[in-house]
Amino acid sequence: MAASQQDRSAKSAAKRKEFDEKELRHRVRPGIHQKLADLMEWHGIEEQAEAIQLLIINAHALGRDESTTALSIPRHDFTLSENVAQELYNEGARQAAGMDRRDT
């Protein structure tokens, strides 16, 4: 006779407790979800939990120094053009002189 759903759930719960499993939950926006989906597609992974576990295991295997690149927050370089820098300077000078731009 097949085990009931309740029996299967109890067995799963006991197994999770035995192996001290922790549940991780994380909410992401669509762009991040798409990046995970891309990684999963590129490597033939069907389960998100498996992909996330592999990412953690492989980043950890790189070690403290090498994993820095994988875990650093991507930043965009931003350089002001001369025109924008001059406009910001002029606006600041107007404000410092007590002149509101709308008054000019």
- State how far the Cα of 104 lies from the Cα of 95, in Å rounded to an integer: 11
pLDDT, position 57: 96
What's the chain's average pLDDT?
90
- What's the pTM? 0.61
pLDDT, position 76: 81
Long-range contacts of 22-28, Cβ-Cβ distance < 8 Å, separation of 24 or more: 24/52
User: What number of residues does the chain have?
Assistant: 104
pLDDT, position 79: 87
Query: Who wins on pLDDT, 54 or 75?
Result: 54
- Answer yes or no: is pLDDT of 101 > 60: no
pLDDT, position 100: 62
Cβ neighbors of 36 (< 8 A, separation 6 or more) are 28, 48, 51, 52
- Percentage of the chain modeled with pLDDT above 70: 93
pLDDT tens readout for residues 24-72: 888 999 999 999 999 999 999 999 999 999 999 999 999 999 999 889 9
